[in-house]
Structure 1
Amino acid sequence: MPHTDTAHRRRRKEARPQELLDAALALFVQKGFAATRAEEVAALAGVSKGTLYLYYPSKEELLKAVIAHYLSARIAAGAAQAAEHSGTATALLQGILIDWWTQLYDSPASGVFKLVITEVRNFPEIAEFYHREVVERAHDLLGRVVSQGIAQGEFRPVDVDHAVHSLVLPLVMICLHRHSFGACTPADWHLDGRAFIAQHVQLVLAGLCVRPPEPAPAARPTA
């Protein structure tokens, strides 16, 4: 029995950072970063405030960890996918943007955009962290793919920065909509976020491609 208790405590300790991040994300999105107290995060995660500070020494560091876990890590996974890709730039963008953003939209992580956009003006350190770890890294990744497509004659010679913004900003907005106005509208309202993501990416790719792109496979539903 003691051995079982020790193993259980070890598993709980290993799971605790994720539980704290989940609790922080839920409360930050619901109440706002400034309005959320550290003890509320700890209580939702089922730990003491002191335990929370053992893992994250300040509320600002906790928010940085939320951003890094839910967004930066996903961008790193997209970069790994790009590094292994041997097909067309169109197929790579479809995979990164449609699959990646649909999974993000379907997860609580889509709330990070609302959190950041509504809070960063009052927290310059968080704004700098988000820009460095999310905006710049995502822009660099997608910019490389667009540049590759241009170099291979697959895409028209367009301004790469503007093309990346055209691809990404509406996707950020659909996630922001889900956690703001979309949370108050009827469930049968005509804006289907998952369909919008696929349709938007296809529309922009149609403008980028020298020849019409092949339709992307339907996004796989998440569990």
Structure 2
Amino acid sequence: MARMKSSMTMFMMMIMVASMQMHGSMAQTRHVVGDTLGWTIPTGDAYTTWASQQTFNVGDTLFFNFTTGIHNVAEVSQAAYDPCTTANPISITTTGPATITLTTGGAHYYICTVGTHCQIGQKLAINVSATPAAPTTPPPATPTPPPVPTPVSPPTTTPSPAPVPSTTTTPPPTTTPSPSPVGANPPSPTTSGPSPSDRTTPSPPGDTTPPPPSPSTAARSFTVVVPATFLAVALAFFY
């Protein structure tokens, strides 16, 4: 149990040290006022030009490099800054060099209250950002999702249709009888045996009377007799 408490204590100490190191990594900027010129009577608008090239944030420090008894640094309001009014400053430091921490955002005004140094140009106006500067860390790269493979469909094979047996029957060849020649007389049917007109009825036995001539025989006889008679009459008429 004691070992666990000791481990927890060590862990908390490590977190505190890491937090202090992180706070130190977000180190505030130390601005040397005027750079190599220091805090003195300038030529022209040297401090205005220097301030325009800086970025001030809450927590930064201003380092005024001057000799004690020759210069001082006083923070004043905007109303006192323009006419270089030295009465009732917000704060004043007479021992040099002096370091002032920027604890609030907004406009800050500093002047030297010795003699007419402010009127000559030993004055500084800056604008402080209310948000402390944070280290710029590039945003993490967004991983690009891998491309989704497109599913490949297998080729579709269409089965060949089964052969359908043919139900069409070929009609047998039609034989057309050749037409008879024009003018040809159809053959007469041949009859075997005597015609009904030539048939004679047999007489019963014992009858001696000759049968009467058949109508066809009488007609043939008449046909033969009539032309002969007509021929005789014609010869008699001429002679």
Shared fold, TM over 0.5: no
Compare CA radii of gyration and give the structure with the larger one. Answer: 2
Q: TM-score range by the shorter chain?
A: under 0.3
Q: Scaled by the length of structure 2, what TM-score is found? A: 0.25
Q: Of the two structures, which has the highest relative contact order with CA contacts closer than 8 Å and spacing of 6 or more?
A: 1
Q: Which has the higher strand share?
A: 2
